[in-house]
Amino acid sequence: MVATSRRADDVTKALGTHEGLLAFTLDVTKRQDSERAVDAALKRFGRLDVLVNNAGYGVAGALEECSTEETLAQFQTNVFGLLDVTKAVLPVMRAQRSGHIVNISSVGGFFAGAGVSAYCATKFAVEGFSEALAKEVAPLGIHVTIVEPGYFRTDLLADYALKFAMREIEDYAATSGAVRKAIPAMHGKQPGDPRKLALALVRLVGESKPPLRFLAGGDAVQVREQTLNALREELEEWRELSTSLAYEE
């Protein structure tokens, strides 16, 4: 197994050392790091069977509060970083005619909440390119699964990991402002167990017909059901107008 981080030492501190583990430095915002990581994996293990794209972070702030620079940085890591790593791995999996790409999205990849506009935009993007990719590589024996977690007890909401838009606008105090206060308070209280999710991913990549999308956590299932119900209601409310737009000969 190859485990990567922006500092390989962080992997070693967390997992120790083992002959079956290669700890490697990988900053997904640097394309050459992705290519070097793939080369190192092939040199050590001879093939690549599973890629888990888990790099990402969140920026809390309303759309108007997030600067262009803050939004671009969010996309650079959460979207383009995943794209570069995936592109580095695809030639190997194509040659093997096998492989499984697991892209970690979020509940925020299908339900956008106030105060996390940029983050949700990146996760919607991950969902879009992953779904298209799944159709492109299916004939080549490669699977793609989009994982949509709810809240899991990781460090994503820790002080050092969560970022806030530098600008605050008073008019958004009841929406974005409330989220800025609520999210940090959730750290350490998230209902999901990361170890159980890891085991679930192991099971998924062992399936002959894995899902395109996998909801992770009871909260994610609940949000999906609510979202589907709302979409259905809106569809029916506007069906007549939507279907009245054809040319009339």
φ/ψ of 30, rounded to 5, equals: -115, 105
Element (H, E) at 199: helix 194-205
Q: What share of the chain is helix, strand, coil (3-state, %, to 5)?
A: 55, 15, 30
CA distances from 105 to 116, 140, 220 (A): 14, 23, 12
> Which listed residue (123, 130, 151, 176) is catalytic?
123
Tokens of 84: 């570069």
Our answer to whether residue 151 is catalytic in this structure is no
How many of the other CB atoms lie within 10 Å of CB of 203? 9
Our answer to whether residue 105 is catalytic in this structure is yes
Our answer to whether residue 123 is catalytic in this structure is yes
Q: How far apart are CA 28 and CA 126, in angstroms?
A: 15
Nearest to 59 by CA among 70, 69, 72, 68: 70
Tokens of 109: 């990849």
Q: 167 and 61 in contact (C-beta within 8 Å)?
A: yes
How many of the other CB atoms lie within 10 Å of CB of 241? 8
> Which listed residue (34, 105, 117, 176) is catalytic?
105
φ/ψ of 141, rounded to 5, equals: 85, 15
The residues, ordered by sequence, that sit 6+ positions from 134 with a Cβ below 8 Å of its Cβ are 143, 144, 212
> Which listed residue (34, 117, 119, 176) is catalytic?
119
The catalytic residues are 105, 119, 123
